[in-house]
Amino acid sequence: MFIEQAYKGNNTWWRVLITTLCTAGIFIGNFIAYFSMSKEQIDEVYKSMSEIPNNLSLIINLSPFVFLLGLLFLMVRNLHHRSILSLTTSRIKIDYKRILFSFSLVVILTIGVFIVTYFNDNSNIIWNFNPSKFAVLFFISLLFFPCQIGLEEYLFRGYLMQQMGIIVKNRWFPLIFTSVVFGLFHSANPEVARMGYGVMVFYIGTGLLLGIMTLMDESLELALGFHLGNNMMAALLITSDYSAIHTDAVFKYSGVENPAAVLNEMIISIAIVYPIILYIFAKRYNWKDWSSKLTGKVLPPN
């Protein structure tokens, strides 16, 4: 079982505390800084960020994740004396086909929804494709996004979910806890500041989806593929002035910000698209015993 993989390592409280603070520090610091600043200061920070060339800004934003993912792996191996495999899956090896399937599913669904939306109403969507800039963006995305989503998945759905699970001895609390914390740590994103905290429903809902994938499949592979596909599509397909990161994507949304419309789209994703994704995974991978896997007890090995 996935959560029980944590029992393979040394889980002394101070080791857990040090690893959590060192690897989640970027999220904690960002969270504290955001809520300690005034609205004027926040607007000034976002304005300064928007003046940096898009591709350079993307590198600056994603570079820390390369170091932090490596640090997490290093601490799990040398401080907790565990393998990275135990942090990834309960199976005997990593199933890369699962990552590829989940990634492909998200890419196909995202492009499909975009095509329908575009032909329904493209009045606020403009062609933004610049071959040279897009080529650089594509290379940066391939290089940095795996580390960015890797840190978030290995930290939230991997390390924290496993450690929390063996502490509280159940599955439902770490599922809810990591989903809420995952959402809260995205509260400093520009779209939250511009469209209100209703957007947090989407982030927490996405965290819940990724957590359910992880517990039902007993591994991180599907969550890794989903998260990577989602973030790469957000960077490559369409951008906007109120996105978390501005990019030289193929298209750009040029319309006036409409928080209500954006929130409605997010709610539709959570209420309709996410259950469809879970249904596809459940059928393909023959998921059973949902109640036990999502809410059951966590017991140490005999």
Each residue's pLDDT, cut to its tens digit, for the chain (302 residues) gives: 899 999 999 999 999 999 999 999 888 887 787 778 777 777 787 777 778 888 999 999 999 999 999 999 999 999 999 999 999 999 999 999 999 999 999 999 999 989 988 898 888 889 999 999 999 999 999 999 999 999 999 999 999 999 999 999 999 999 999 999 999 888 777 777 677 777 888 899 999 999 999 999 999 999 999 999 999 999 999 988 767 678 999 999 876 566 666 677 778 888 889 999 999 999 999 999 999 999 999 998 87
* Cα gap 79→19, rounded to integer Å: 8
Residue-level pLDDT at 10: 96
Give per-residue burial for 220-240: e unless 16+ CB within 10 Å, then b: bbbbbbbbbbbbbbbbbebbb
Handedness of CA 216, 150, 202, 266 (dihedral sign): negative
- Residue 290, both tokens: 């949902």
* Cα gap 189→86, rounded to integer Å: 32
* Cα gap 190→195, rounded to integer Å: 9
- Residue 222, both tokens: 């599907």
Nearest 10 degrees: Cα torsion 104, 287, 174, 159: -50
**Closest alpha carbon to 115 in 237, 232, 227:** 237
* Cα gap 81→299, rounded to integer Å: 20
Residue-level pLDDT at 155: 97
Q: What is the pTM of this model?
A: 0.93
Neighbouring C-beta atoms of residue 50, cutoff 10 Å: 12
**Closest alpha carbon to 153 in 106, 210, 115:** 210
Residue-level pLDDT at 261: 67
* Cα gap 186→189, rounded to integer Å: 6
* Cα gap 139→153, rounded to integer Å: 22
* Cα gap 36→260, rounded to integer Å: 27
